Structure 1
Amino acid sequence: MDAEQITVVVVTRDRCARLRQCLARLLALPERPAVVVVDNGSTDNTAAMVRLRFPSVELVALPANRGAVARNIGVLRARTPVVAFADDDSAWEPGALSRAAALMAAHPRLGLIAARTLVGPQRRLDDVSQVMAGSPLGRAPDLPGPSVLGFLACATVVRRDAFLQAGGFDPVVFFMGEEERVAYDLARRGWGLAYCAEVVALHDPGRPPDPARAALAARNKVLTSWMRRPWAVALAETSSFVALAVRSGPHRRAALSLARRLPGALIRRLPPAPLVEAQLRALARPPVAAPAFAARAPAAR
């Protein structure tokens, strides 16, 4: 499998200038991947810009914002066995897609690659990448890197069939934290998710953290729990979220939308997967501290 068998799916909304930079970088890659842009109902002439400046890019202009589900539409349009995601503020390092394609070919159970993500002009290692590199889930012998149970959508490569089997992103969470349920469903179907440091994504969000986005992520964690986690876990996370909403305006507003979205989550509920629950327990354990004498041992020699 080579990089010509990868499609990059880019989702955007009302960020025409950022998308123009993103597409210029993607089309300059030595791999020359196919690119599908799914425009989530932009009102800033994004679609016209893509048609005029990037005629080789396949454009899907949606009449309204579909959130993360827009990525599913791009995956369905892709005609390649492997798909890489990008947002309008992200890109891929030259050579990264070739390495991803080679890893997918060499590891048949590999369903998802979580890339090493470098942030901003300083190319700072993303905090999530640091955590994934030391994943307590270990490394399966048939995977190319540490096993993980999560990913950043804008820095991910998926096997198309595996992603579609897992149902893609769903409309319940809509946006922020939409990756969690997809990771659970890939794992419950036996697909491997691995952090691969040699596959490098670039991310330049260009904006400070937004409390409203953090509140949405917290809301979506609760919704995902109702869709996939044991009842006791879902109830506990809901209780914690409500306690936050009492003290926080953004969480209070997110709580109102939680009530509206909860029936949709319950309709999509599946029994908890024992494998996934075991991995989540492993991830929740605090790291084991090294014995005090271990730090003194080198000096004693």
Structure 2
Amino acid sequence: MVVATRDRRDRLFETLPQHRAPIILVDNASTDGSPEAIGAAFPDIGVVRLDRNAGAAARNEGVRRATTPYVAFADDDSFWTEGSLARAAELFDAHPRLGLLTGQVLIGPSSRPDPISAAQAAAPLAAPRGAPGPSVLGFLSCAVVVRREAFLDAGGFEPRLFVYGEEALLAMDMTAAGWWLCYEPSLTVRHFPLPAGRDRSARDRIEARNRLLTALLRRPPTVVARNLASTVRQSPVAVWDVARALPWALRHRRRLPPAVEASLLRLEHPPPATPHLPG
């Protein structure tokens, strides 16, 4: 289990005791004394202290240090329910091409289902023959288990994307490499996000930047153009962020296989629902 954190010491004291797997805690250069406090209170947890905030890519370091063939991710405000990780290991053992499993996410004390779980269950993608569940081309980082080999071969999370929407590029690259990415509702994550209060405009800017950068890195020009137009509408300043990163993005541009691009288009433009006619 890899848990990435930054300046969330109090939340870690709530969630870490809920985990039922060995933990590698990767600390993103916290300033609140998290590494020292967690190391003292939970001596069995391996604490990795980064000297800078690496964002989502902090998880890469945790996976590199893991010694198990499968690695689960959790955030400092989430944990997997009992039995979920054992079931995930069974599915990975049974399906050698399975690279990633994502599960159902329940939010807050009321266990409200996250809408992304329903979307994943109903995604209009053709699952490979023999796959353990519906195929997905996106996920929440706090709700996945990965095959360590597949994750590392795909390069893990791209450091340039930092946070917010970093999952999309990894999902594309793992799928392009031939790995199965599947949703399995019997795997359950409890998620306790903090109440609203963060800078929403900053998050919108980063999300818009990452969507456009991801399109530049992997998608055809028509899709890039659509993303550019939507970014201009949503967050014009994000366009300047992308412009500064453009030389890097073009150097690392690699088009997806046609089948993966077709699946992405199916998600973005799903076929209309067939009306139910009385018999």
Moved more, 94-103 or 140-149: 140-149
State whether structure 2 residue 249 is matched by structure 1 residue 265. Answer: yes
- Provide the C-alpha distance between the structure 2 equivalents of 1:262 and 1:91, rounded to a whole number of angstroms: 37
- Provide the C-alpha distance between the structure 2 equivalents of 1:57 and 1:262, rounded to a whole number of angstroms: 40
- Provide the C-alpha distance between the structure 2 equivalents of 1:35 and 1:197, rounded to a whole number of angstroms: 23
Task: Determine the structure 1 residue equivalent to 2:170.
Answer: 182
Q: Deviations over 1:59-110 (max 9, x none)?
A: 1101110111100000000000000000101100011000100010011111
Task: Determine the structure 2 residue equivalent to 1:109.
Answer: 97
Mapped contact 1:132–1:195 kept (Cα < 8 A): yes
Task: Determine the structure 1 residue equivalent to 2:18.
Answer: 25
- Among residues 226, 238, 252, which one is paired with 2:228 in the alignment? 238
- Among residues 221, 228, 231, which one is paired with 2:218 in the alignment? 228
- Among residues 205, 208, 220, which one is paired with 1:215 in the alignment? 205
> What's the % identity of the aligned pairs?
46
- Among residues 41, 46, 51, which one is paired with 1:58 in the alignment? 46
State whether structure 2 residue 113 is matched by structure 1 residue 120. Answer: no
Mapped contact 1:116–1:198 kept (Cα < 8 A): yes
Q: Deviations over 1:112-170 (max 9, x none)?
A: 00111111111111111010011100332221100111110000000000001111001
- The letter of the residue matching 1:80 is T
Mapped contact 1:188–1:276 kept (Cα < 8 A): yes
Instruction: Calculate the aligned-residue CA RMSD, in Å.
Output: 1.5
Output the TM-score relative to the length of structure 2. 0.95
SS at match of 2:152: helix
State whether structure 2 residue 271 is matched by structure 1 residue 281. Answer: no
Moved more, 203-212 or 169-178: 203-212
State whether structure 2 residue 188 is matched by structure 1 residue 204. Answer: no
- Provide the C-alpha distance between the structure 1 equivalents of 2:268 and 2:224, rounded to a whole number of angstroms: 16
SS at match of 1:269: coil
Moved more, 270-279 or 282-291: 282-291
Tell me which structure has the larger Cα radius of gyration: 1
CA separation of 1:214/1:76 partners in 2, compared to 1, >3 Å: closer, same or farther?
same
- The letter of the residue matching 1:207 is P
Q: Can you give the 5+ residue segments of structure 1 that lack an aligned partner in the other structure?
A: 1-7, 247-251
